[in-house]
Amino acid sequence: MKFLIIGDVVGRPGRNTLFKYLEKRRQDYDFIIVNGENSAGGFGINVKIAKEMFERGADVITLGNHSWDKREIYSYINEQKNLIRPINFTKEAPGNGYTIVEKNGIKVAVINAQCKVFMPPIACPFLAVEEVLPKIKEETDIIVLDFHGEATSEKQAMGWNLTGRVSAVYGTHTHTQTADERILPGGTAYISDIGMTGGHDGILGMNRRESIQRFKDGMPTRYSVCEENLRINGIELEVNEKTGKAVSIKRVNMEYDEI
């Protein structure tokens, strides 16, 4: 089973890059996961964008610390089970932290969790994932985790904690693709961060000028989305559909004109 997993989509430039790629290549994949937490102007996701991502080929959309930046998503996330937010958000929060999707007769579980280190205060992601894993495994061994956070140490710890029990652990949030993709003992694919889809000549997908000025003067500023050097980042993942073990993991890093 071949997965396409796309790193944080930033604003309209990121969406346009993603949609161009899916238009040409979606038929090459059996299952597509997109992190959409920055897809609406760089902060959050709205209903229109989520629906368009699903229409263009996304099977599951994951989120992160910007999940609630657009209020209209509060009710929609309860209606759309394949739009998920971090599982270690408070239980009173809207939506769910994982979903199980049956496609072509095969069930795939996708879990979303958020790191604690250098992130807003949140419940333990390790305990939250451990709590639901036995229930998920009653239905499928094909399980992938979007682990959204800053620290590579925390992400590596989650990879080793789950090795042999899930198909893949991949990081999102830093918007910087790492080069440490590998298959851990036990058949779990791992990478610390799959990167960002959008303008790569800015700073984390936003224009340079505002970001640099904020570092210089420390004053609040309104960020705008970068449109320079558009790239798509993510991974291609192959999983044995009978065992749930990862067969291969490969980075995706393409310029807009190469798509």
Q: Is the Cα torsion angle 18, 147, 122, 59 positive or negative in sign?
A: positive
Rounded to 5°, angle at Cα 130 from 66 and 248: 80
Q: In 10 A of CB 195, how many CB atoms?
A: 26
C-alpha to C-alpha distance for 220 and 125, rounded to whole angstroms:
31
Between 11-25 and 47-56, two packed helices, what is the crossing angle to 10 degrees?
Answer: 20
- Residues carrying an active site annotation: 66
Identify any residues that bridge with 100 across adjacent strands, giving them in sequence order: 109
Which DSSP string do the residues of 108-128 spell out, in sequence order? EEEEEEE--TTSSS---HHHH
